[in-house]
């Protein structure tokens, strides 16, 4: 058995730092896996990777102790089960708005008799060994995304679904659903109140919660508020930000040979 390192972080009463993989590349995934993130999430919803590319990204992450997660495109049994068979140790499911949707998601996350997951762990057996089917139900983490007004109104019903381990807050969609501009690190009182309400109810139900952030400073505030997993940016944003910084720093570059002195 290879225990889920994310669950161990939580057992130690620590918050996990999650990285986000939007670029469809095993090399960029490997680079991210060596930077000190506790977990890395392959984004199949808004990222550019497809299933086959995601496999190579998971193989790259497996060269480290970083825990592989994924966000699936939708609450659809086929892709959830394929990603489980591919070897992820946690699945983030978008737009879970009702108890019934949460129940359907949790069901396909688990082998019978606990759930309805079909048996065929094609890569998981090689990644984790032949005992994988005996502990998968207990170790893999199920995250339901809470990101709409409807989900807020059904929050306690969602959180009471047996087998749900955690929620993941999408602040951009949550803000949009509440009538505000979608963005990371919201400061609008109504959105902040919703984010704090979510974590309060999550703790009352004994579950865990993650949230997407744009900056490390905001992520630290979320940990202080009680969040157990924080995502800061993504590989695509890191590339864009640093590239923009370099280009901006070079806008006032001198003409060739402008100085007669030594460099």
Catalytic residues: 46
Name the DSSP class of 261: S
Is 176 within 8 Å of 169 (Cβ atoms)?
Answer: no
Is 161 within 8 Å of 103 (Cβ atoms)?
Answer: yes
Contacts 24+ apart (CB under 8 A), 180-183: 183/214
Closest CA to 205 of 108, 102, 115: 102
Tell me how far the alpha carbon of residue 159 is from its chain's centroid. Answer: 18
Is 56 within 8 Å of 87 (Cβ atoms)?
Answer: no
User: Before 113, cis peptide (omega within 30)?
Assistant: yes
Q: How many CB atoms lie within 10 A of CB 111?
A: 16
Q: In sequence order, which residues have a C-beta less than 8 Å from that of residue 122 and are 6 or more positions away?
A: 85, 86
């Amino acid at each position: 058995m290879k225990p889920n390192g994310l669950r161990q972080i939580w057992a130690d009463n620590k918050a996990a730092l999650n990285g986000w993989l939007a670029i469809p590349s095993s090399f960029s995934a490997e680079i991210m896996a060596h930077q000190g993130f506790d977990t890395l999430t392959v984004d199949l919803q808004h990222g550019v990777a497809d299933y086959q590319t995601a496999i190579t990204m998971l193989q790259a992450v497996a060269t480290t102790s970083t825990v592989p997660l994924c966000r699936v495109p939708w609450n659809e049994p086929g892709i959830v089960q394929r990603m489980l068979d591919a070897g992820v140790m946690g699945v983030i499911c978008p737009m879970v708005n009702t108890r019934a949707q949460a129940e359907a998601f949790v069901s396909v996350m688990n082998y019978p008799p606990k759930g309805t997951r079909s048996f065929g762990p094609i890569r998981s057996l090689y990644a984790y060994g032949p005992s994988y089917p005996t502990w998968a139900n207990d170790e893999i983490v199920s995250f339901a995304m809470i990101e709409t007004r409807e989900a807020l109104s059904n929050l306690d019903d969602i959180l009471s679904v047996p087998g749900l381990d955690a929620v993941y807050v999408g602040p951009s969609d949550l803000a949009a659903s509440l009538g505000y501009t979608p963005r990371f690190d919201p400061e609008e009182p109504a959105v902040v109140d919703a984010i704090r309400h979510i974590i309060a109810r999550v703790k009352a139900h004994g579950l865990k919660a993650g949230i997407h952030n744009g900056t490390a400073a905001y992520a630290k505030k979320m940990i202080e508020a009680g969040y157990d997993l924080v995502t800061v940016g993504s590989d695509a944003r890191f590339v864009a930000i640093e590239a923009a910084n370099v280009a901006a720093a070079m806008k006032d570059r001198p003409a060739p040979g402008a100085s007669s002195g030594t460099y």
